[in-house]
Amino acid sequence: MADDLQGGCACGAVRYRLTSAPMFVHCCHCRDCQRQTGSAFVLNALIEADRVELLSGDVEGTAVPTDSGRPHAIHRCPSCRIAVWSVYGGVDKLRFVRIGTLDHPAALAPDVHIYTRSKLPWIALPDGVPAFEAYYDSKKLWPAASLERRRAIFG
């Protein structure tokens, strides 16, 4: 499966590989994500920074304003400016990799839908995937192995 988890920017300068499955996958319908993607939601694979292997090129972080005031840097290809992942909270241990930049984005489906209070009205959410008006309690939703992985990076 990890072989499928390669991706990159539009111009091809940035290529990356996820060396394992992510801990969890968010589909976020918040206004920030809508604005930043120019779309209805963002798809983020939450994964340890050291499991994101840069195969070529480099990325440049840009701090963006957020509704929450929490730091958020979007990391982009310096040439074509496509966003490949985000870092929240100013600590680059956990990355939010944009699933749309994978070569095979169908490889990772959302584990949760969040901030559905600003979900666009024409989107029908699938049955069987948890959905929350705002954020959620990861301790209740994440698999034990993923919580363990997160503890290993944040202590």
Single out the segment in contact with Zn ion by CB under 5 A; choices: 5-13, 65-73, 127-135, 138-146.
5-13
Q: Does 28 bind Zn ion (CB under 5 A)?
A: yes
The Cβ-side half-sphere exposure at 87, using a 13 Å CA radius, reads: 16
User: Pick from 21, 33, 45, 102: which binds Zn ion (CB under 5 A)?
Assistant: 33
User: CB 11 → Zn ion: shortest distance, Å?
Assistant: 3
User: Pick from 5, 25, 27, 30: which binds Zn ion (CB under 5 A)?
Assistant: 30
Q: Strand order in 15-18's β-sheet? A: 6-8, 15-18, 52-56
37 near 105, Cβ under 8 Å? no
Q: Cα-atom radius of gyration of the chain, to the nearest Å?
A: 15
User: CB 82 → Zn ion: shortest distance, Å?
Assistant: 5
Cross-strand bridge partners of residue 114: 28
101 near 82, Cβ under 8 Å? yes
C-alpha–C-alpha distance, residues 68 and 120, integer Å: 20
| Binding track over 73-112 against Zn ion, x by CB under 5 A | ----x-xx--------------------------------
Single out the segment in contact with Zn ion by CB under 5 A; choices: 23-31, 90-98, 127-135, 139-147.
23-31
C-alpha–C-alpha distance, residues 63 and 73, integer Å: 4
Single out the segment in contact with Zn ion by CB under 5 A; choices: 10-18, 65-73, 123-131, 140-148.
10-18
How many residues touch Zn ion under the rule CB under 5 A: the total is 9
Structure tokens at 67: 């509704």
Q: Does 45 bind Zn ion (CB under 5 A)?
A: no
Footprint of Zn ion (CB under 5 A): 9, 11, 13, 28, 30, 33, 77, 79-80
